[in-house]
Amino acid sequence: MSENPKTAAGLRKLPMDLIPPIALVKMAAVLGLGADCPAKAYGRWNWRDQPVEAETYVAALERHMLRWRAGEEIDEQTGVSHLASAMCCLAIVRDAQEAGTLIDNRRGSPGVLAVMDRYDASSMPVVKPQPVAG
């Protein structure tokens, strides 16, 4: 450990160095496309200028994640990463929430939290992989 007092002071600050730089680069590409692309032309920081609905971004997040889980890395419409687009959806919702421009129209599902709690990792049975026939 360094004896430099600046190092000790730095350790008490937000660990910004833990954010993977590639995530920031890819998110900037997605946000830049949405802000500046003539076909989209949402505008920079549009979620701060006009209120946005949470469910709009949740639906987009889920579409990007489903396509990524199905094996599609790049969004054919935009040419950018589905994962970066998903990260932007979350970042926009969180930023709009903090800025007071989020319309919280989440459609809760009665009882879903209780059901999820019953299926947490401590109560789930251990499933052993089946041997592959061959």
Q: What is the mean pLDDT, run by run of 10 residues, along the chain of 134 residues? A: 78 89 94 77 86 96 98 93 97 96 92 83 68 70
Residue at 46 is within a domain: yes
Taking the C-alpha atoms of residue 65 and residue 35, their distance in angstroms, rounded to an integer, is 22
Would 52 be classed as within a structural domain? yes
Tokens 């639906």 locate to: 59
* First and final C-alpha spacing in the chain: 54
Residue 9 burial (C-beta neighbours within 10 Å; 0-12, 13-18, 19+): exposed
pTM, two decimals, is: 0.78
Domain count, the chain: 1
Give the model's pLDDT for residue 44: 86
- Number of residues that this document lists for the chain: 134
- In terms of residue numbers, what domain contains 40? 19-106
The reported pLDDT for the residue numbered 78 is 85
Instruction: Please tell me the predicted confidence (pLDDT) of residue 96.
Output: 96
In this structure, is residue 124 part of a structural domain?
A: no
Q: Is residue 69 part of a domain?
A: yes
Report the distance separating Cα 88 and Cα 23, nearest Å.
10
Q: Residue 77 has what pLDDT?
A: 86
Supply 60's token pair.
Answer: 């987009």
Question: CA 109 → CA 29, 67, 99, distances in Å?
Answer: 34, 24, 26
Q: What is the pLDDT of residue 39?
A: 66
Answer yes or no: is 36 within a domain: yes
The per-residue pLDDT for 83 is: 98
How many separate helices (H) and strands (E) can be counted in the chain? 6, 2
